[in-house]
Structure 1
């Protein structure tokens, strides 16, 4: 049945029965994500391809390569990125499709140098992984079968051409692993290509430089007009109402009257008639929402979301677009004070301490990241009491679903533009590409309430002034050095802030992290800081509590994954941190030696490889604990703590708190406690011993501070209780003594300080403090008893010990499951119940459950 005959019959029936005329959608959209094939250029061996996907995963699926993550396989696969690869699909275009005014291919992501042909004719070429491309293809189509073929040119070969053509060296950090990549002359070509920097290697990631169709492809057709974009601009927010503008970007084929309606869940909010103009135009409608429910970050309130829909009506046809929004006010406050300039986020009028982590892509092969993986990492952040993640500038502008999940979880996003640890070329073609990339991504992400701020780059300003790049380049050529930094200013002081001002004017732009302002290197009194004195400088963990800036946006310490993960990329013969495989899965230039250096400062040498992994986890967690608590105690001077990093992109030794398989390390359990809304924190400063209490809640707390010193057998040596009032959103000390005087009648090698904060019978927080390094403690050999009870979703495991069980680690071998707590100190006389979420049977659990404590590792 033809479209016109259908409409005639539908209208006739409507008139007969009193129904209104139907409206048809202006837009037809069809996915082109199945039945693809791929081949190496010059080869006739066409194989099935997955879209979205990439050449590495397609080769792996077809059995042409071995797992790139296993042992040393990464080194054998560097030939892939030197080849060109072809992808093709055949699709039908019927007469009805070709009658539409416009027909386009909508590529959500092409990685990266792509020549697109239809029926042998070149439609267009692309050169930016981060952009979306909508290409008019109607002139290239024919009725019936059509062949779409995409040639992905080698990003390495294209990079070498640009490298050779550029007049001078552009500084790049050592994270471009050109030597591993077997690039001619060791040329670091990553900066010439607008592609995820971490694909070229990083000090936690492999070098696997991908190509392919990494986001979905759609065939779209429409008549008269379509909605390109919908922006919701928030204006005034009061208790009674919130006011907005809906800015609708319309692409029209001709001048025509139209009506735009704005609604929320079917309720009309605004409606207006417009005269469409040919081409792309913006149309604005004002609306308001009564009695708005405010969006809060995790821990401070709920995250109500409103779905705002825009419908464009042209005659009897319509087009739609919608976005979810959260109603909230947010500002980055930069006020002068007696010490410098503040740097904190004020949400709905409330200063909020930002607790969180840096976030990298969840896989080096991006299309393998599933919705469940996104859910897991966001839920990990939420369950760990975080309220912010920093999307780091060497990865990608994340998929929409990531931001959707953060909207729902109350996780604010510090969003870097995709520039990290390198200078960049300044030719006009490159700059125009960056400008288009910024427009694409700012417009795509700006409606998310979770989007907190835009940041121009990661560590480039620090590299220029602090890492010695400026001096090195000036020593070679002052003119070239001046040109390099002029390009820096062009990108990060003009193009990117201009894009934010034009397309997302209500959000703050910060030019570089870390820094103290636009073009001003970081200090400790005016901005954000990346502190790597611990790790790179081998400074003590205690410095985390003293080297504090207004906002600590990076710091960290490494650990290997747990043995269960190591088994998935190594064999028993590799179980030595100095083996070739373990060194290959350790990308920090000082990694293994630094882990061992810090370990031997506080712990005895572990007796075997498995014990080393366990102690390494405890070491990382205990070290970062200094930072988590120290930064929070320093509020309101310091108002943010984002450790490096929450996740991994392959199985590796890294600074992550969850490994590639999203298994929690000891650090993640410590983060959950260290970022709890109420924190009691015993600490040493100079010759004083203090107990601080931090309250992130928006109401005062009346509580009992209970302190005691007990020996490892449970005997109480000293105790003191006192009532405290902890004001809302505050940090202060509630106990202070001279440490030497306090310990003169105590045995620091056999006793522990334990502090608890109670509100009635409810324990709000607990913590402990050992006055001597763990290696000097006389740790007992505890007998830990466990009882198991089946409950919905798994088991409750109740634990008791006759003596101190230091850093009790529960494990279930190679079985799958998640413990609600782990790596904790179990004190004599204490009963702790840990929930194990698992699908295994009790008979299996009885066989595989094992307990480990620090005393058993040497």
Structure 2
């Protein structure tokens, strides 16, 4: 059995050439170490980002000393394992060179025994500046490669964009929602592992065929032996056990064992069933002694991307255990510009927030990092499917052999690291590169091609195809063939001609729709531009006031202040928010009200999109908005800000992603349609209750309809003529309330207005609140004498309400609970809120 010595303590660092060493934290990075030593100001505050661009131009040294016992040195092998070095790093042990690393996304294992000695040892790592390292590569290439989001100007490099040359998190170089902090450092664990005889390096449970009746599996064990060995392989999975004789030869090898599990407990995504998992333990034994052992936890499930031709084109849907899943969720970016600052609680809060919001999928987007083991373990636990990009986004990349070899090694390591996670639903090559370059259509794409000669274009496309059409798919086929690969998102199909590239009229593949926002198109376009799988679309908002005040002073609180502009990375983003707000919402009375209105604006946009996609179920089989989270406090497309505070969009998503959804479509000029959508496996029956109300709560008309809906279905269940409903009534003074109830319990309800919020004739409501703090949990029951739109609850304590940003109708009280944010235990448990402020839109308008 192995002995492990963790090497994450007693580190120090300095700028190369300096004499003064400072204490360092490992895992970490140079920016966070400088901050902890009071050598730099808070990176996220004010305009400090631009003052810290000198850091990435320097080399940095890290060093630790540790003791080795004589006993440890007696082991046959002692290996130094470095899980993550960011990025260009020269590692030496006791003054002797041991490793030159050049890929942030790779782990490294090297033989350290020849350089170790009993007693004190010194491990030294010099991180070479990624900027100084890669500028010569740009010069050697002779022409720039497209890298749209590389903020080289912020980094004082002008037009010299070098992010594409390093295998390093692309977002470190800036993005249109994130700052430019090009880090260096030891970002994952380091350890010494000493062993003799046999070491089990990997255990993979390959899922050959999974049904409700039988799971056919192959357990693949990677072993290394220092001498020939014979014994027994014992495999256990919970209360099941298999055993067979094995013979190992000196060196590295794989051992395979085919097994069958009858009536397996299947892993399901949230909303469809249990997240059942098995712990598989493989042990090499001689007699009663375990010589080496390794365990993995996984769930048994079949997952495939189904792309079958139909009358429209070709579908794009995930099938889990034979069941067609409508994917509901969001795109995930790294939770921090300094990734080692993300705690277990922050990860759990995000994943639990997704589940609380009725999501079943997150897309790990390709401009960030391959996430931590914990992230995927939480997705396994909570039942979130993961669309996993490789770390390439919005850029063209070099194709020299060293770069391709590094990509191949990175892909193989990441596939092997993640392949046991049942949450993993798809491997995707990159974000938006196929559609941006649009190789087969001269008039399509982002305009990159026009800057290059025909020879340069072919060279760049050859490099692209080497990575995304050859290296990555072959690695997946070899190492994780039971999960599908999609070369680029979005993509129409891999046809090798002009049809390949995704467009807004594509009837195959996945779609990123950005006409709303970037092109200032109206929200109603979300009802018209619908693809087979909507893997990106979004709308911005500011964070709430207390988040804004974490990076700004009161004097900065206006749209064109330098701080507000520095915390808006999307060019004209602040003005776009203002322009859309003028179109759809009443005028806010001050800047704090503007922040609130931006939440409402974003939420209404995302509700429009999500429900339009869900109403087209089976033509469209997925909706993943951009984006779930933030890496710093900023105005962005996130539904949950940097501090994990839910914006209005997160509450809206929770309602619009409900497994049973009532959706009202009023986009047709003369007709109002009521839709009922179910993502559940079983049929359901209930009552649809419809009321036309004025704003005082007076019922003007009512309808009741008994409905039976089959499992996994979407139907238009009622239609009205707009003229029939209004009957010469003022459309700005009435609303339609739709509620679906089962056994007297309302499953979902929706309110439909006949005009925009800007045109509503709203009386000033009188709100009444009944509060209870019994049993250490705050609940609030809200009532009103007239329509109160966009009720906003703000608690003294950090946390989330069971509902927020909702409309309150006379005669329909609403009770909400408070979930305090806790660094320990399960999230979203009711607790005390402290003081609570309750407002409606009437409090925010002029």
Return the match for 2:662 from 680, 697, 709: 680
Residue 314 of structure 1 and its aligned partner are, at CA, apart by 6.1
Distance 1:655 1:741, change over 3 A: same
Are the aligned partners of 1:793 and 1:839 in contact in 2 as well (CA < 8 Å)?
no
**In the alignment, structure 1 residue 789 sits paired with structure 2 residue 776:** no
Q: Corresponding residue for 1:305?
A: 277
Q: Corresponding residue for 1:180?
A: 154
SS of residue matched to 1:380: helix
**In the alignment, structure 1 residue 634 sits paired with structure 2 residue 646:** no
Return the match for 2:80 from 101, 105, 128: 105
CA distance in 2, matches of 1:105, 1:84: 23
Q: Corresponding residue for 1:365?
A: 338
Distance 1:461 1:654, change over 3 A: same
- What are the residue-to-residue correspondences of 1:398-477 with 2, within 5 Å? 398-465=371-438, 472-473=448-449, 476-477=452-453
**What CA deviation, in whole Å up to 9, does each residue of 1:480-526 have, x standing for no partner?**
10010111111000000001001001110000000012251114211
Residue 847 of structure 1 and its aligned partner are, at CA, apart by 5.1
CA distance in 2, matches of 1:103, 1:405: 32
Are the aligned partners of 2:302 and 2:322 in contact in 1 as well (CA < 8 Å)?
yes
Return the match for 1:650 from 614, 632, 642: 632
CA distance in 1, matches of 2:448, 2:569: 25
Q: Corresponding residue for 1:9?
A: none
Q: Corresponding residue for 2:501?
A: 521
Return the match for 1:378 from 339, 351, 356: 351
**What CA deviation, in whole Å up to 9, does each residue of 1:212-235 have, x standing for no partner?**
000111111111221111110112
Are the aligned partners of 1:552 and 1:640 in contact in 2 as well (CA < 8 Å)?
yes
CA distance in 1, matches of 2:684, 2:211: 28
Are the aligned partners of 1:271 and 1:285 in contact in 2 as well (CA < 8 Å)?
no
SS of residue matched to 2:485: strand
Q: Corresponding residue for 1:127?
A: 102
**What CA deviation, in whole Å up to 9, does each residue of 1:805-839 have, x standing for no partner?**
110101135x4232111110000112111112349
SS of residue matched to 2:601: helix
Q: Corresponding residue for 1:747?
A: 730
Distance 1:190 1:856, change over 3 A: closer
**What CA deviation, in whole Å up to 9, does each residue of 1:12-51 have, x standing for no partner?**
xxxxxxxxxxxxx2x1112111111111100111111111
Q: Corresponding residue for 1:546?
A: 528
- The TM-score, its normalising length taken from structure 2, stands at 0.96
- What are the residue-to-residue correspondences of 1:236-255 with 2, within 5 Å? 236-255=209-228
Are the aligned partners of 1:438 and 1:496 in contact in 2 as well (CA < 8 Å)?
yes
**What CA deviation, in whole Å up to 9, does each residue of 1:37-83 have, x standing for no partner?**
11110011111111111110011111111110011111111011111
Residue 290 of structure 1 and its aligned partner are, at CA, apart by 2.9
CA distance in 2, matches of 1:793, 1:365: 36
Distance 1:715 1:848, change over 3 A: closer
Residue 855 of structure 1 and its aligned partner are, at CA, apart by 5.5
CA distance in 2, matches of 1:32, 1:314: 32
CA distance in 1, matches of 2:836, 2:324: 47
Return the match for 1:589 from 571, 579, 590: 571
Residue 88 of structure 1 and its aligned partner are, at CA, apart by 0.5
My pick for the range that moved more, 504-513 or 789-798, is 789-798
Distance 1:433 1:845, change over 3 A: closer
Are the aligned partners of 1:363 and 1:649 in contact in 2 as well (CA < 8 Å)?
yes
CA distance in 2, matches of 1:659, 1:678: 27
Q: Corresponding residue for 2:827?
A: none
CA distance in 2, matches of 1:844, 1:219: 46
SS of residue matched to 2:255: strand
**What CA deviation, in whole Å up to 9, does each residue of 1:586-629 have, x standing for no partner?**
10012011101111111122110100000110110011111110
Are the aligned partners of 2:673 and 2:720 in contact in 1 as well (CA < 8 Å)?
yes
Q: Corresponding residue for 1:22?
A: none
CA distance in 2, matches of 1:839, 1:543: 37
- The TM-score, its normalising length taken from structure 1, stands at 0.94
Q: Corresponding residue for 1:15?
A: none
My pick for the range that moved more, 268-277 or 479-488, is 268-277
My pick for the range that moved more, 127-136 or 249-258, is 249-258
Q: Corresponding residue for 1:849?
A: 837
Q: Corresponding residue for 1:213?
A: 186
Distance 1:707 1:40, change over 3 A: same
SS of residue matched to 2:110: strand
Q: Corresponding residue for 2:113?
A: 138
CA distance in 2, matches of 1:732, 1:204: 38
Number of residue pairs the alignment of both structures matches:
828
My pick for the range that moved more, 243-252 or 450-459, is 243-252
Residue 131 of structure 1 and its aligned partner are, at CA, apart by 0.5
CA distance in 1, matches of 2:241, 2:258: 9
Q: Once superposed, what is the RMSD of the aligned Cα atoms?
A: 1.8
Distance 1:259 1:34, change over 3 A: same
CA distance in 1, matches of 2:842, 2:408: 54
**In the alignment, structure 1 residue 49 sits paired with structure 2 residue 24:** yes
Residue 418 of structure 1 and its aligned partner are, at CA, apart by 0.4
CA distance in 1, matches of 2:217, 2:709: 38
Are the aligned partners of 1:69 and 1:650 in contact in 2 as well (CA < 8 Å)?
yes
CA distance in 1, matches of 2:369, 2:97: 28
Return the match for 2:682 from 689, 695, 699: 699
Q: Corresponding residue for 2:259?
A: 287
SS of residue matched to 2:517: coil
Distance 1:324 1:843, change over 3 A: closer
Q: Corresponding residue for 1:570?
A: 552
**What CA deviation, in whole Å up to 9, does each residue of 1:131-182 have, x standing for no partner?**
0101111111122111000000111111212111223321111x10011011
Return the match for 1:274 from 246, 267, 277: 246
Are the aligned partners of 1:459 and 1:512 in contact in 2 as well (CA < 8 Å)?
yes
Q: Corresponding residue for 2:12?
A: 37
Return the match for 1:760 from 738, 743, 750: 743
SS of residue matched to 1:631: helix
My pick for the range that moved more, 661-670 or 713-722, is 713-722
Q: Corresponding residue for 1:227?
A: 200
SS of residue matched to 2:174: strand
Q: Structure 2: which 5+ runs fail to align?
A: 823-829
